[in-house]
A and B are shown apart, each in its own frame.
Chain A
């Protein structure tokens, strides 16, 4: 088994721990690894800042390598699926209500997800436009990622 398959298997195993008694242990391991990476980065920072990636950045960059070799990007559907799968391995321990809507403008259908404030009293509408190079759709992953912060601000 190659290193890439090993890492893929590892992150899939981590994902399977969600909702089980192993989840707190997994989260603890993640917290320890995160602290270690930050410490390594700070230590390196004392010497040669311009050339030092955060260890996590270095691991991910090495793991992906050349995107054209990692993914068959000419297979658009497959590329989107694999990219989404890569982003999807992260823990998802916060749930919240999301409503999906569709609006028809000039006979064109446009879909969006709406997060309604529960405690915020602002009239300003926050509009989020996802990334993905105009090709990939990263909204589900990003929303999952930012949801804890939104929840702290009273947005569910």
Chain B
């Protein structure tokens, strides 16, 4: 498994992080030409999906995609972004601030910025995990609704970031088992 340290905002603006991920997947000696399985968490889910949608060669090599409470719509147009806008750890205000840090002048409706808004591209099998009380829940739901070969699991009672709650959250353990099973089923 490889964990990419992509450049962070606000120091690095869009599309620096996205281009870094694409370059590593395309040109690094350990990854170029190899079969891939992309796992992205929150903003990482955005980068994973954008990369797949923008790069046909990477898409062709990718056997599966796992997105964990992904941040896919930076316009914050989802119903949950309003419904759970505060009081659930991650707030709409913080999401908006993250987006401002990431983007300098880029349009939030650009599909490379908000990959949920991309017109249909055939993607590999995907697993999407999200908490019930996550302002990004609608992003996950809308993605799953528009991609037939995706599997969505909404974890009841959970908030954004619940996979970080090691040892003290059984939902986190169940989610990791689900991810493991999915990875084993697609990795070949």
Which residues in A have some Cβ–Cβ distance to B below 8 Å?
A: 27, 30-31, 33-34, 38, 41, 45, 49, 52-54, 56-57, 60-61, 64, 66-68, 73, 76, 87, 90-91, 101, 103, 105-106, 108, 110-115, 122-139, 141-146, 148-150, 152-153, 155
Contact = CB atoms under 8 A, between A and B. Distances in A.
B161 to A, nearest CB: 8
16 contacts: A30-B168, A34-B168, A49-B156, A57-B133, A57-B162, A73-B94, A101-B30, A113-B5, A114-B1, A122-B187, A125-B1, A126-B1, A127-B36, A133-B98, A134-B9, A142-B41
Nearest to A113: B3
B47 interface: yes
A23 to B, nearest CB: 12
B126 to A, nearest CB: 14
A152 B90 CA distance: 31
A153 B8 CA distance: 31
A125 B34 contact: yes
A73 B38 contact: no
Contact of B8 (A54, A122, A136, A155): A136
B165 interface: yes
B133 A130 contact: no
Interface in B1-33: 1-6, 8-11, 17, 20-21, 23-25, 27-31
A101 B28 CA distance: 11
Contacts of B35: 123-125
Contacts of B24: 103, 105, 110, 112, 127
